[in-house]
Structures are given as structure tokens and as C-alpha cells.
Amino acid sequence: MPNLRVHNLTVSLDGFAAGPRQRLEHPLGEGFEGLHEWMFAAMRDRADGKTGIDVEYVERSEENIGATIMGRNMFGPQRGPWQDESWKGWWGDNPPYHNDVFVHTHHLRPSLAMEGGTTFHFTDEPIETVLGRAYEAAAGKDVRIGGGPATIQQYLRAGLIDELHLAIVPELLGRGERLFDNLGDGIDGYRVAELVGSPAVTHARLVRR
């Protein structure tokens, strides 16, 4: 059975997965700049042929993924109805997904085929329906939720996520969107399977109980 996975979800030590006031200049919210540096460092290390815990986690995040789900705030800084359809995501002409990406939004627009095999689909369907479409698109591979926190919370609350990897960074944000919030009893279905530190961050992995 294919799984629904979350990887490299970076949270500050005080539990925030995004800063306040997300906008074009602050895609991840104010103060969150730099909190993903551990991941970019791991990618550079991997390119240089180095190994380590962080590199292992980044490699694992890319294995066997056949489709992607994200919230609209991860796709772009716009809120409300699209003013036009010129925005094609943060990632340029060749986004790093290379598969079907399902974007949750109340404001639909036609699917958007990009270079490199990434196609963005915009949907206002329930999460269970979207997940079904994503599994179908993944054709036997796993589905990954990219983010952001509100989207991950919806799937976690419903118990639909099979594995969630988060990286706790040694920073205090003070404000923003918490990861562990709005989860209701959904969180009771999970346990911490792993808690391990690298020199840069602490990795945790949640799996079903």
C-alpha cells in the first residue's frame, strides 16, 4: 500500500512551522528565513559526496514519491480570487516536483503543465478526494504533502498521514503558525518513532501508533 508522507518539515524550537504575515517578500512568514538552512546545507553536502544524518533524511524525502499535495499558500503569496493566472509558483519554469501536484484552493484555475513533468492541479475537493486522486496519479508510489502547516494539520487531524518527519532547529520564532495545533484527537493516532540529533538540528519521525 502506498503511503502519505511529510518530510523535512522544519519547526523552530518553540514549535512554529511558519512565521507570521506570509507574503511575497516572506514566503514562509517573517523570521522564518534561514530556518531551512540545515536542508540546503545537507543538499550541498550530498552534492559534495558527504554523508550524515541530515543528508540521509533529505535523501529519504525524495525516494518513491509519485505525487504531491500542497496548500495554496505554499503555491503562492496571493490570497482570495486570482487577479490573473500569470503566477506559476515560486519555483521557476522547472519546479522540483516532476509529478502531479494537487493544490488545495477555493479559487480554481486550469491545470498548469510545467517543464520537467510537474503539473499543478487546483482543487477545492475534500482532502479524502484529493488524496485519492493523488494516489491514482502516483501509480503505486507514495504521495508527499509539501505543506504548509495548515494543510498538514488537516491531513494529520484526519489520520491520513502515514509518516511525518520534522526537523527542530535551534531557533526561537516567538510567533507564527504552530505545527502541533488544531489536531483534535487525531494526534492520538500517532507516536514518535525516532528522535535523533545531528550537529545542526533534531530530527523526529511520527508514525501511526
List interacting residues with its own copies (CB under 8 A).
13-15, 168-172, 174, 178, 180, 183, 185, 187-188, 190-192, 194-197, 201-202, 204, 206
Choice between 163 and 171, CB closer to its own copies? 171
CA 6 – CA 27 distance, rounded (Å): 19
Query: How, if at all, do strands 16-18 and 177-178 pair?
Result: antiparallel
Minimum distance of its own copies from residue 200's CB (angstroms)? 9
Minimum distance of its own copies from residue 168's CB (angstroms)? 7
CA 148 – CA 125 distance, rounded (Å): 17
Minimum distance of its own copies from residue 181's CB (angstroms)? 9
The full 3-state SS of 135-190, as one line of letters, equals: HHHHCCCEEEEEECHHHHHHHHHCCCCCEEEEEEECCCCCCCEECCCCCHHHHHHE
Choice between 69 and 201, CB closer to its own copies? 201
| Distance set, CA 7 to CA 23, 78, 92, 186 (Å) | 23, 25, 22, 19
Minimum distance of its own copies from residue 32's CB (angstroms)? 15
Long-range CB pairs of 24-27, under 8 A, 24+ apart, other chains included:
24/77, 27/77, 27/90
Choice between 13 and 139, CB closer to its own copies? 13
Phi, psi of 19 (to 5 degrees): -85, 175
Minimum distance of its own copies from residue 42's CB (angstroms)? 16
| Distance set, CA 17 to CA 61, 108, 126, 172 (Å) | 18, 26, 23, 11
Choice between 43 and 204, CB closer to its own copies? 204
Minimum distance of its own copies from residue 159's CB (angstroms)? 13
